[in-house]
Structure 1
């Protein structure tokens, strides 16, 4: 397991009991480098949405634990936040929750000169995602070719 995945899984293992205790959902943990700076991010959610105070509670507990355990050698910025409206579908539970809802799919490579598709999530498995398009047709995409899939939202 690479260092990045090791850090993420260790943090996730610490956070899961905290999530249960606070009736939150752990959406994702990521350890990423952006513009030369490492970020350790935990995305949390709950029914009705996450508030700043909720993020602060988890951030303090996670920060204290990380200081004590001290297993990440690089300097990094810790962030605990809501996944937001444009929350990507990453895990099985995200797909289950989004079945029958409108999603946006962005592809790495265009299909018939189009990289972005919107439709109703009608099926998925380990390798593919199927949308029912506005005209009633079904369009299946390989997960490996999907750059981003998230719930669609209108303003």
Structure 2
């Protein structure tokens, strides 16, 4: 997790959890003069529009006071959805056996994109089976990981 993401997580996750939700993960996309801060929330009974609005209101107040992002930005609060992004080793372990799409920050064995079955976690690495070959991908090298929904 980058320094800015860690700062935002440490600032926002306690507020999300105080409202009875799990802070599933945070994405911060700096896009020149206008950035996007997306906070994914989870709840055992599901996430509703009202739940997102409640969390958004609370986080907006915190962000206004703390002012961790310079310039304009948009705050989005969302459910992780069916193609849920994965942020932590615990989340990858939880979805062991599921199909996932993983993109690395830098190439590993000549490739950055992997699509396969999550086999689990070993130490600080995610084990992914792609075309009968297991890859151990360090969590710190993963730029983005998502579950591929089954219909």
TM superposition score category, shorter chain reference: 0.7 to 0.9
Tell me the equivalent position of 2:75: 78
Q: Which residues of structure 2 form unaligned runs of 5+?
A: none
Question: Separation in 2 of the partners of 1:129 and 1:75?
Answer: 35
- Whether 1:16 and 2:13 are equivalent positions in the alignment is yes
CA drift at 1:54: 0.7
Mapping of 1:49-88 within 5 angstroms? 49-88=46-85
What RMSD, in angstroms, separates the aligned Cα atoms of the two structures? Answer: 3.2
Question: Separation in 2 of the partners of 1:100 and 1:11?
Answer: 31
- Whether 1:139 and 2:105 are equivalent positions in the alignment is no
- Whether 1:101 and 2:98 are equivalent positions in the alignment is yes
Rg larger in 1 or in 2?
1
Give the number of aligned pairs: 148
Tell me the equivalent position of 1:130: 127
Tell me the equivalent position of 1:149: 145
Mapping of 1:22-33 within 5 angstroms? 22-33=19-30
SS in 1 for 2:38: strand
Kept after mapping to 1: 8 A contact 2:100/2:116: yes
Kept after mapping to 2: 8 A contact 1:39/1:76: yes
TM-score, normalised to structure 2, is 0.73
Question: Separation in 2 of the partners of 1:147 and 1:68?
Answer: 29
TM-score, normalised to structure 1, is 0.72
